[in-house]
Protein backbone atom coordinates (compact mmCIF):
# COMPACT_ATOMS: atom_id res chain seq x y z
CA UNK A 1 0.00 0.00 0.00
CA UNK A 2 1.23 3.49 -0.80
CA UNK A 3 1.88 5.79 2.14
CA UNK A 4 3.26 9.24 2.93
CA UNK A 5 1.11 11.15 0.49
CA UNK A 6 1.63 14.92 0.79
CA UNK A 7 -1.62 16.66 1.67
CA UNK A 8 -2.45 18.74 -1.41
CA UNK A 9 -4.48 18.87 -4.59
CA UNK A 10 -3.04 16.83 -7.42
CA UNK A 11 -3.21 15.59 -10.98
CA UNK A 12 -2.57 11.83 -11.16
CA UNK A 13 -1.14 9.93 -14.13
CA UNK A 14 -2.32 6.34 -14.46
CA UNK A 15 -1.93 3.71 -17.14
CA UNK A 16 -0.26 0.53 -18.26
CA UNK A 17 3.47 0.04 -18.02
CA UNK A 18 5.52 1.40 -20.92
CA UNK A 19 2.95 3.83 -22.33
CA UNK A 20 5.22 6.81 -21.62
CA UNK A 21 3.86 8.09 -18.30
CA UNK A 22 7.27 9.01 -16.92
CA UNK A 23 8.27 10.76 -20.15
CA UNK A 24 5.02 12.73 -20.01
CA UNK A 25 5.68 13.54 -16.35
CA UNK A 26 9.05 14.97 -17.32
CA UNK A 27 7.37 17.19 -19.93
CA UNK A 28 4.75 18.39 -17.45
CA UNK A 29 7.06 19.09 -14.54
CA UNK A 30 10.48 19.76 -16.00
CA UNK A 31 11.81 17.28 -13.43
CA UNK A 32 13.98 14.38 -14.44
CA UNK A 33 11.82 11.33 -13.84
CA UNK A 34 13.39 7.88 -13.77
CA UNK A 35 12.33 6.05 -16.90
CA UNK A 36 13.44 2.53 -17.60
CA UNK A 37 13.75 0.19 -20.49
CA UNK A 38 12.08 -2.37 -18.27
CA UNK A 39 8.40 -1.93 -17.50
CA UNK A 40 7.48 -1.48 -13.89
CA UNK A 41 10.29 0.90 -12.95
CA UNK A 42 7.80 3.03 -11.02
CA UNK A 43 6.61 0.96 -8.05
CA UNK A 44 5.58 3.77 -5.69
CA UNK A 45 3.82 7.03 -6.51
CA UNK A 46 6.24 9.73 -7.67
CA UNK A 47 5.05 13.08 -6.34
CA UNK A 48 6.32 16.33 -7.87
CA UNK A 49 5.08 19.15 -5.73
CA UNK A 50 5.15 22.87 -5.29
CA UNK A 51 4.97 23.30 -1.55
CA UNK A 52 3.89 26.92 -1.67
CA UNK A 53 0.98 26.14 -3.96
CA UNK A 54 -0.49 23.06 -2.31
CA UNK A 55 -0.37 21.23 -5.65
CA UNK A 56 1.43 18.27 -7.18
CA UNK A 57 1.60 15.94 -10.16
CA UNK A 58 1.67 12.27 -9.20
CA UNK A 59 2.92 9.46 -11.44
CA UNK A 60 1.28 6.25 -10.22
CA UNK A 61 2.89 2.87 -10.92
CA UNK A 62 2.06 1.24 -14.25
CA UNK A 63 -0.08 -1.86 -14.24
CA UNK A 64 -0.93 -4.67 -16.63
CA UNK A 65 1.50 -7.14 -18.13
CA UNK A 66 5.14 -6.70 -17.16
CA UNK A 67 7.68 -9.30 -18.16
CA UNK A 68 9.37 -10.84 -15.16
CA UNK A 69 6.75 -9.56 -12.69
CA UNK A 70 4.51 -12.27 -11.19
CA UNK A 71 0.78 -11.87 -11.76
CA UNK A 72 0.07 -11.59 -8.05
CA UNK A 73 2.36 -8.59 -7.80
CA UNK A 74 0.80 -7.01 -10.91
CA UNK A 75 -2.65 -7.39 -9.41
CA UNK A 76 -1.44 -5.85 -6.15
CA UNK A 77 -0.07 -2.81 -7.98
CA UNK A 78 -3.41 -2.32 -9.74
CA UNK A 79 -5.29 -2.67 -6.44
CA UNK A 80 -2.99 -0.10 -4.82
CA UNK A 81 -3.49 2.34 -7.71
CA UNK A 82 -7.27 2.00 -7.50
CA UNK A 83 -7.24 2.40 -3.72
CA UNK A 84 -5.01 5.47 -3.93
CA UNK A 85 -7.41 7.17 -6.34
CA UNK A 86 -10.43 6.15 -4.30
CA UNK A 87 -8.95 7.40 -1.02
CA UNK A 88 -7.84 10.73 -2.46
CA UNK A 89 -10.56 11.41 -5.04
CA UNK A 90 -11.65 14.63 -3.33
CA UNK A 91 -8.16 16.11 -3.80
CA UNK A 92 -7.63 14.95 -7.39
CA UNK A 93 -8.25 17.78 -9.84
CA UNK A 94 -7.83 15.46 -12.83
CA UNK A 95 -6.92 11.86 -13.59
CA UNK A 96 -4.82 11.43 -16.73
CA UNK A 97 -5.13 7.94 -18.20
CA UNK A 98 -2.10 7.55 -20.46
CA UNK A 99 -2.46 5.06 -23.32
CA UNK A 100 -0.29 4.09 -26.29
CA UNK A 101 -2.09 5.47 -29.35
CA UNK A 102 -0.62 2.83 -31.63
CA UNK A 103 -1.64 -0.25 -29.64
CA UNK A 104 -4.44 0.72 -27.24
CA UNK A 105 -7.39 -0.27 -29.46
CA UNK A 106 -5.81 -3.67 -30.24
CA UNK A 107 -5.05 -4.29 -26.57
CA UNK A 108 -8.61 -3.40 -25.57
CA UNK A 109 -10.02 -5.70 -28.25
CA UNK A 110 -7.73 -8.53 -27.19
CA UNK A 111 -9.03 -8.35 -23.63
CA UNK A 112 -12.70 -7.90 -24.43
CA UNK A 113 -13.76 -11.52 -24.03
CA UNK A 114 -16.81 -12.56 -22.08
CA UNK A 115 -16.67 -11.46 -18.46
CA UNK A 116 -13.49 -9.49 -19.13
CA UNK A 117 -13.12 -5.72 -18.94
CA UNK A 118 -9.85 -4.38 -20.36
CA UNK A 119 -7.75 -2.46 -17.81
CA UNK A 120 -7.84 0.80 -19.74
CA UNK A 121 -11.62 0.79 -20.11
CA UNK A 122 -12.08 -0.26 -16.50
CA UNK A 123 -9.83 2.52 -15.25
CA UNK A 124 -11.52 5.14 -17.41
CA UNK A 125 -14.92 4.29 -15.97
CA UNK A 126 -13.56 3.93 -12.46
CA UNK A 127 -12.09 7.47 -12.54
CA UNK A 128 -15.41 8.83 -13.73
CA UNK A 129 -17.33 6.80 -11.16
CA UNK A 130 -15.37 8.38 -8.31
CA UNK A 131 -16.02 11.76 -9.98
CA UNK A 132 -12.44 12.53 -10.90
CA UNK A 133 -12.36 14.63 -14.11
CA UNK A 134 -10.72 12.28 -16.60
CA UNK A 135 -8.45 12.96 -19.56
CA UNK A 136 -7.19 10.16 -21.81
CA UNK A 137 -3.73 11.19 -22.99
CA UNK A 138 -3.28 9.22 -26.20
CA UNK A 139 0.50 9.10 -26.43
CA UNK A 140 2.90 8.20 -29.26
CA UNK A 141 0.57 9.68 -31.86
CA UNK A 142 3.57 10.32 -34.10
CA UNK A 143 3.45 6.59 -34.86
CA UNK A 144 -0.21 6.59 -35.89
CA UNK A 145 -1.20 7.10 -39.54
CA UNK A 146 -5.00 7.06 -39.42
CA UNK A 147 -5.18 9.49 -36.53
CA UNK A 148 -8.88 10.47 -36.55
CA UNK A 149 -10.03 6.93 -37.22
CA UNK A 150 -7.88 5.59 -34.39
CA UNK A 151 -9.15 8.20 -31.93
CA UNK A 152 -12.75 7.54 -32.95
CA UNK A 153 -12.21 3.81 -32.41
CA UNK A 154 -10.82 4.53 -28.95
CA UNK A 155 -13.87 6.67 -28.07
CA UNK A 156 -16.05 3.83 -29.22
CA UNK A 157 -14.22 1.33 -26.96
CA UNK A 158 -14.42 3.70 -23.99
CA UNK A 159 -18.16 4.06 -24.46
CA UNK A 160 -18.16 7.73 -25.50
CA UNK A 161 -19.61 8.68 -28.86
CA UNK A 162 -17.27 9.52 -31.72
CA UNK A 163 -16.17 11.81 -33.30
CA UNK A 164 -13.37 12.34 -30.81
CA UNK A 165 -13.16 16.07 -31.59
CA UNK A 166 -16.22 16.74 -29.41
CA UNK A 167 -14.34 15.36 -26.38
CA UNK A 168 -11.34 17.68 -26.31
CA UNK A 169 -11.45 17.95 -22.53
CA UNK A 170 -11.45 14.11 -22.35
CA UNK A 171 -9.36 12.84 -25.28
CA UNK A 172 -5.93 14.42 -25.78
CA UNK A 173 -3.67 13.15 -28.61
CA UNK A 174 -0.05 13.81 -27.61
CA UNK A 175 3.54 12.81 -28.29
CA UNK A 176 5.37 13.22 -24.98
CA UNK A 177 8.77 12.30 -26.39
CA UNK A 178 8.59 15.21 -28.82
CA UNK A 179 7.22 17.59 -26.21
CA UNK A 180 3.91 17.82 -28.05
CA UNK A 181 1.46 17.84 -25.12
CA UNK A 182 -0.66 20.93 -25.85
CA UNK A 183 -3.86 18.92 -26.24
CA UNK A 184 -3.38 17.59 -22.71
CA UNK A 185 -2.51 20.92 -21.10
CA UNK A 186 -5.54 22.49 -22.80
CA UNK A 187 -7.77 19.78 -21.34
CA UNK A 188 -6.24 20.19 -17.88
CA UNK A 189 -6.76 23.95 -18.12
CA UNK A 190 -10.47 23.33 -18.61
CA UNK A 191 -10.62 21.09 -15.53
CA UNK A 192 -8.57 23.48 -13.36
CA UNK A 193 -10.87 26.30 -14.38
CA UNK A 194 -13.96 24.26 -13.52
CA UNK A 195 -12.42 23.44 -10.13
CA UNK A 196 -11.88 27.21 -9.61
CA UNK A 197 -8.12 26.67 -9.49
CA UNK A 198 -7.01 29.15 -12.15
CA UNK A 199 -4.04 29.85 -9.85
CA UNK A 200 -2.59 26.55 -11.06
CA UNK A 201 -2.71 27.33 -14.78
CA UNK A 202 0.89 28.54 -14.61
CA UNK A 203 1.99 24.93 -14.13
CA UNK A 204 0.69 23.94 -17.56
Domain ranges within the chain, ordered by starting residue: 9-203
pLDDT at 39: 55
**Rounded CA gap, 197 and 192, in Å?**
5
Task: Indicate if the pLDDT at residue 41 is higher than 70.
Answer: no
Taking only Cα atoms into account, the Rg of the chain, rounded to an integer number of angstroms, comes to 16
Nearest to 171 by CA among 152, 146, 197: 152
User: What's the whole-model pTM score?
Assistant: 0.93
Residue 70, judged by CB atoms within 10 A of its CB (0-12, 13-18, 19+), counts as exposed
Average confidence (pLDDT) over 134-156: 97
pLDDT at 69: 83
Residue 46, judged by CB atoms within 10 A of its CB (0-12, 13-18, 19+), counts as buried
CATH fold for domain 9-203 = Rossmann fold (3.40.50)
Reported as a single tens digit per residue, the pLDDT across 78-127 is 899 999 999 999 999 999 999 999 999 999 999 888 888 889 999 999 99
Task: With beta carbons less than 8 A apart as the criterion, state whether 59 and 11 touch.
Answer: no
Task: Indicate if the pLDDT at residue 2 is higher than 80.
Answer: no
Amino acid sequence: MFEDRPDRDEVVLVGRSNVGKSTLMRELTGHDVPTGRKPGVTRQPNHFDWASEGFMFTDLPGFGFMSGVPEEQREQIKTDVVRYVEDNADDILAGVLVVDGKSVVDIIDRHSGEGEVPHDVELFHFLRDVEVPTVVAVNKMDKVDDRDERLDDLCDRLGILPPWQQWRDTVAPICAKRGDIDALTDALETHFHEAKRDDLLKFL
